[in-house]
Each structure stands twice: as structure tokens, then as C-alpha cells.
Amino acid sequence: MTDPATLDSTIPGMTLINLGNSDRLGAADVGPNGNMLASRLPDANYVEIAPANHFTFLGTCKQRAAQMLEDYGDDPICTDPEGTNRAAVHAQLIEAITSGLGL
């Protein structure tokens, strides 16, 4: 558990990003539906990009990769929520990160 007193000494203006708006682990959800870390950090910027999931930040997948991974019982790293455009999510991530860094 984070000691609330230590949050005041963190770097101000951090950008915190959540991918997707559901099915997140509480400890990893820094937004208003999770542990609310974004609202407890000084001048933090919170960005939620959806539809997406944890694996959407990875590179775009080749055709049939999702089925191949499923057939092998591997992690669903190519299975995004319906309506996700991975390239568009990447562009949003780049924008959020560069903006957060002041670039």
C-alpha cells in the first residue's frame, strides 16, 4: 500500500496512461475506476485510450497471428477488443507521451 504522504514528493506533471476502459487489474488501473493514483499525484495528467487492452501497445500483428497464438495456447497478444485500431492507438500513445514530456 502506498503511503499517501510520499505522493507529494513525486515528480509533478507525470502522465499516466491506461489502455482500455474495462477488465483492468485494480492495482494497474491508475484512473478514476481503479486506485485513483492519477488524482493523488501532483499535477498528474491521466490519459485513457480505448478500445484497447494491455497488449495493444505491442506492434501490429500479421494476418492470422491471433489464430496461430490461440492454436498454440499462447498469450492473446494479437487479440484486441472489437473496434480497436492498433495503429491509431499507437499514434495516441505517441501523442500522450510526447505531450507529457513537453516535446
At 29-86, the pLDDT tens digits run: 777 777 778 888 888 899 999 999 989 999 999 999 999 999 999 999 999 999 999 9
Q: In a 3-state reduction of DSSP, which class is residue 22? A: coil
Arithmetic mean of pLDDT, 5-21? 82
pTM: 0.80
Which residues have CB under 8 Å from 44's CB, separation 6+? Answer: 13, 14, 15, 16, 37, 38
Helix (H) or strand (E) holding 16: strand 15-19
Q: What is the per-residue pLDDT for 47?
A: 93
- Where does the pLDDT of residue 22 fall: very low under 50, low under 70, confident under 90, or very high at 90 and above? confident
The Cα 8–Cα 23 span in angstroms is 29
Domain boundaries, the chain: 4-100
Arithmetic mean of pLDDT, 10-33? 78
Radius of gyration of the chain (CA): 16
Q: What is the per-residue pLDDT for 25?
A: 64
